[in-house]
Structure 1
Amino acid sequence: MNPTMAAVRAGVRRGGIELRNSFTNAQDLWNYFFPTVALLVTMFFMRGATVPGTSFSLGARTLPSALGMGIAFGGLLGLSQQLIVDREDGTLLRAKATPNGMFGYLVGKIVLLSTVSLIGLVLQLTPGLFFLDGIRVTEAGAWFTLAWVVPLGLVATLPLGAVIGSLIENPRNMGLVVMPVFGLIALSGIFYPINGYPGWLQAIAQVFPIYWLGLGTRSALLPDGLAAVELGGSWRHLETFGVLGLWAVLGLTLAPVVLRRMARRESGSRVAARREKAMQRVA
């Protein structure tokens, strides 16, 4: 069998095993379900507010945005956290020691995090349909848009998460990434339209994939009339595809290079040193 195909098959199996283990781990289940419940509770209390200039529920407008945010969050932070933890406990060193092990490892993580993101999307969307009006899920166009926005969003964010995870060695330094990501979420129109923001803030928001993922999921699940409250007064599908595509190309170009350099630096002595530091922190 072709070595690359063997690594892909091994990675897919690894991703399936990690997914199954994840759904039998109480802490992982808490991490999956608590944000979903918190989001839905927030949407429930927002359902009475309206999008400025319309009679449409702000909660119904925010739920699709939050679905896009969840995809970006899982891609940028989920994979980076996994890489950092696995590097500290020696998992990456073991993967490096096997033929095409790093490639198989990365395939497994992509399978795991993509599946978790899709499950999270369903868990958030389904209950919201019962108390939020105006979300369209019966139209073929909605599913067609989701069918390209969601995979493209994952491709645009997962490689960037791999780059971030490769550059940060200490799990305690994740705050250096988490806080800027939360800042971008605040700027990206997830919870409120950004039309009233200064032009320079709007420009910053449109550079990064979070804004475009939120816009793409809104375009899929909201009525066409809601495009009027977006920048430019339209859903801008072409721009969404272009920006997410550029981030995907950038991530796919950088991630293999950064991962290879990170893997070359890994050794038993570095893993042992990190474990000793971790034990000292616990003590």
Structure 2
Amino acid sequence: MTPTTTALRSGLRRGVIEFRQDFTGAALIGQLFWPVLTLASLFLLRDRTVGDGSVSLGTMVYPGLIGMFVFFGMVALTQRLSADREDGTLLRAKATPGGIRAYLVGRFVTTALTVVAYLVIVGVPGALTVTGLALLTPDRLLTLAWVLTLGIVATLTLGAVLGSLIPSARASSYIALLVMGLVAISGIFYPITALPGWLQGIAQALPVYWLGLGTRAALLPESAAVLEIVGSWRTGETAIVLAAWSVVATLLAPALLRTMTRKESGSRVAERRDKALQRLG
């Protein structure tokens, strides 16, 4: 067995174990907080309407929420990489042959499985909460599959890029605030056409908007497209933008991760720990 194969198997095993730990016992309560809050919000929006009243706000929001939870995978991976670098976990992995590769595979696996778990937790009850969703034909299922796949690849690799660049776990918390702001202007909670044109332009430069648009194209009836920019689902553009983000982030992430791990040392970990203790003091 080659060192690469060993590292991949070790990382996969580690990722599955960490995922199980995150979704058992007391940790499960924290994992369920946002999905349950999201479902409660969806329930409250189920009878409100948008546009000409043919589509409820809950139905319009539901597919976007699916895309939002995929996007949150980027935040989760960014925060985990930053925290592991700060507490020395990354340095310990570096000291083991093939440890960095196994560590990174494990982190990707854990985060991807967490995203999928959120999609199931929110997606199934959410579909039963709202009315007016389109019938899931094979074409629509295929659209949903490639949108979610490209979205997961794009957001996780972006998370790896950001996690490589952000110097501390504290700094990564600001990323979460920034992401919430981006989600707010992305058309997840209300049709993006209700926003000023310059905000629409910013939203269209980011993957979260296209994730929401792609999931809406798969799950909503054609008549709902009238609420979108130019009154179309723009499926082709969605595929191009998400694929472009995936390719760019995938090309950047390995180089940045290698640079980050090369710079790790015991003195740097101790320095960050001292700074954290000073802030607490």
Q: Fold match, TM over 0.5?
A: yes
SS for the counterpart of 2:101 is helix
Contact 1:12 1:108 in 2 (8 A): yes
Shift of 1:31: 3.0
Q: Deviations over 1:138-179 (max 9, x none)?
A: 432332112111111011111111111111222222243122
Q: Deviations over 1:238-280 (max 9, x none)?
A: 1111001111111111111111111111001111222233334
1:59 counterpart residue number: 58
2:40 counterpart residue number: 41
In 1, Cα distance between equivalents of 2:140 and 2:111? 23
Decide which moves more: 78-87 or 52-61: 52-61
Residue-pair matches, total? 281
Root-mean-square deviation (Å): 1.6
1:143 counterpart residue number: 141
1:69-80 pair list within 5 angstroms: 69-74=68-73, 76-80=74-78
In 1, Cα distance between equivalents of 2:116 and 2:134? 18
Q: Deviations over 1:94-137 (max 9, x none)?
A: 11122332222111111111111111011111112322112246
1:227-242 pair list within 5 angstroms: 227-242=225-240
In 2, Cα distance between equivalents of 1:137 and 1:87? 46
| Among candidates 261, 267, 274, match of residue 265 of structure 2 | 267
1:254 counterpart residue number: 252
In 1, Cα distance between equivalents of 2:173 and 2:88? 22
SS for the counterpart of 1:195 is helix
SS for the counterpart of 1:19 is helix
Contact 2:23 2:31 in 1 (8 A): no
In 2, Cα distance between equivalents of 1:138 and 1:152? 19
In 1, Cα distance between equivalents of 2:242 and 2:33? 28
User: What TM-score results when the alignment is normalised by the length of structure 1?
Assistant: 0.94
2:127 counterpart residue number: 129
SS for the counterpart of 2:193 is coil
Residue type at the aligned position of 1:2:
T
Moved over 6 A (4+): none
Contact 2:136 2:219 in 1 (8 A): no
In 1, Cα distance between equivalents of 2:169 and 2:229? 37
Residue type at the aligned position of 2:68:
M
In 1, Cα distance between equivalents of 2:47 and 2:232? 25
Residue type at the aligned position of 1:166:
S
1:46-125 pair list within 5 angstroms: 46-74=45-73, 76-125=74-123
Shift of 1:20: 1.4
Decide which moves more: 196-205 or 109-118: 196-205
Decide which moves more: 273-282 or 110-119: 273-282
Residue type at the aligned position of 1:113:
T
Shift of 1:61: 1.1
In 2, Cα distance between equivalents of 1:203 and 1:82? 31
Decide which moves more: 60-69 or 160-169: 160-169
| Among candidates 175, 184, 198, match of residue 186 of structure 1 | 184
User: What TM-score results when the alignment is normalised by the length of structure 2?
Assistant: 0.95
In 2, Cα distance between equivalents of 1:193 and 1:243? 20
Decide which moves more: 168-177 or 187-196: 168-177
Shift of 1:33: 0.8
In 2, Cα distance between equivalents of 1:261 and 1:239? 33
Residue type at the aligned position of 1:153:
G
Shift of 1:92: 0.5
1:6 counterpart residue number: 6
Shift of 1:25: 4.8
Contact 1:137 1:143 in 2 (8 A): no
Aligned in 2, Cα 1:63/1:258: closer, same or farther, shift over 3 Å?
Answer: same
5+ residue gaps, structure 1, are: none
SS for the counterpart of 2:55 is coil
